[in-house]
Amino acid sequence: MFILLSIFYYFYFSIIGIYIIFLPKVLSMVGYGASEIGIVFASAAFVRFILPFLFMSGLQLNAHVFKGSLLITILSAFSFFFSLESFYALLVSNVLLGLGMSLMLPFVEVISLHTIGKERYGKVRLFGSIGFIVVALVLVKFLSSAYIAVDFLSALSLITGFIAYKVLLLAPNTTYTRTENTKNDINMIQDYKLWLGLILVQMSFGSFYNFFTIYETDHGISLDMTVYLWVFGVLIEIMMFFFQGRLLRSNLLNLLCFTAFATLVRWFLLFAFPEHLGILFFSQALHALSFALFHTAAISYLFHIYKDKSLAQQLFSGITYGFGGFIGALVAGYVYEYYPTYLFLTSSIMALGAFWLFMSMRQQNVQLLNRS
């Protein structure tokens, strides 16, 4: 299962690499404005936000829904061939792609945490980072037209769907089936500081995921060098995924505080020094903390404090990456269109809010852990 999950993460995050490194630039090449690009990316994130509430209302992420998500992902990826130059058709394609991939990942994440455990999770997840790097280095050499990116997107979606289906066939039912006697013990109002902090961190990534390539090329950094910056950040991320097991045995809330602080520093550096290559590479090195360690610490913390572990992971994906990504993409689009200089300053302010919330939670941490 370890090898199969590694292959899944490799191809799944190669799709993410195309989506966040190249698709914004592709849409800019086709002629879309910054606010339109922000809306397009926000639409997929909004789908991720809606999904958890459907699960809380009774929908179950079971094997049948998972199979449907694979089909939706593949078909929506191919639909970009027909919708790329039509804004509303593009919105539909993007929403469907977001739907399929948002259903796919939390299902596999639960299987990973059950079968491998949090200490080994990073070692299987690092293959996703490798896939991200490989597709970045390869596609940048072939991106002679916008539709080359769509070719890659479609082919990789087809492969990912096949591998994900194999994961389903080999996973024991107990790893992903929600038992009837599992009570929903997740109270986001009571735990608002935790969930708002997670949302703010992901909101702060709206500028990076959707506009980093455009931002740096607009400041005179070549597309090739911008891709190298992406790749460097992911290489450091891989190292963190490989060695983070020991860190995860420490206080997970302290890790959330530390990584949120690293995130606000990272965005402020991009705001203050957008053309300084040395500082840009340093800021990308912080990706190991602001993404890799933060992501694993967050899902591990939720896995630990809540009994309904499957729903907790679905909510993490939907509320943080969904709602946070939705608002972050919208804000980034309009900020970059009207106040482009302050794009990453707004991100650093969001991360500062998350840091403050996590710090204020430290006294409540014992109460949360006792509930689990």
What sections of 173-251 are H helices per DSSP?
192-204, 206-218, 223-243
Check pLDDT > 90 for residue 169: no
Residue % of the chain over a pLDDT of 90: 40
Instruction: Indicate the pLDDT class of residue 24, thresholds 50, 70 and 90.
Output: confident
pLDDT digits (tens, 9 = 90+) for 75-91: 999 999 999 889 999 99
CA distance linking residue 108 with residue 240, whole number of Å: 21
pLDDT digits (tens, 9 = 90+) for 204-261: 999 998 899 899 999 999 989 998 998 899 888 888 877 877 777 778 889 999 999 9
CA distance linking residue 328 with residue 209, whole number of Å: 9
Q: Which of 231, 348, 361 is nearest to 290 (CA)?
A: 348
Q: Which of 103, 6, 8 is nearest to 62 (CA)?
A: 103
Cα–chain center distance at 220 = 27
Instruction: Indicate the pLDDT class of residue 312, thresholds 50, 70 and 90.
Output: confident
Domains, the chain, in order of start with CATH, read 2-371 (1.20.1250.20)
| CB within 8 Å of 33: residues ≥ 6 apart | 337
Q: Are 93 and 38 in contact (CB under 8 A)?
A: no
pLDDT digits (tens, 9 = 90+) for 98-153: 889 888 887 888 788 778 876 677 788 889 888 988 998 888 888 777 788 889 99
Q: Which of 370, 315, 51 is nearest to 199 (CA)?
A: 315
- Whole-structure pTM value: 0.76
Check pLDDT > 90 for residue 282: yes
Amino acid identity at 160: T
Instruction: Indicate the pLDDT class of residue 20, thresholds 50, 70 and 90.
Output: confident
CA distance linking residue 45 with residue 105, whole number of Å: 14
Contacts from 233-237 at CB under 8 Å and sequence distance 24+? Answer: 233/284, 233/285, 233/287, 233/288, 234/129, 234/132, 234/133, 234/136, 234/287, 235/129, 235/133, 236/284, 236/285, 236/287, 236/288, 237/126, 237/129, 237/287, 237/288, 237/291, 237/292
- pLDDT for 295 equals 87
Mean pLDDT of 343-358: 96
Q: Are 335 and 58 in contact (CB under 8 A)?
A: no
- In b/e form, how buried is each residue of 148-173, taking b as 16+ CB within 10 angstroms? ebbebbbebbebbbebbeebeeebee
In this structure, of 197-201, 248-252, 266-270, 346-350, the range with the lowest mean pLDDT score is 248-252
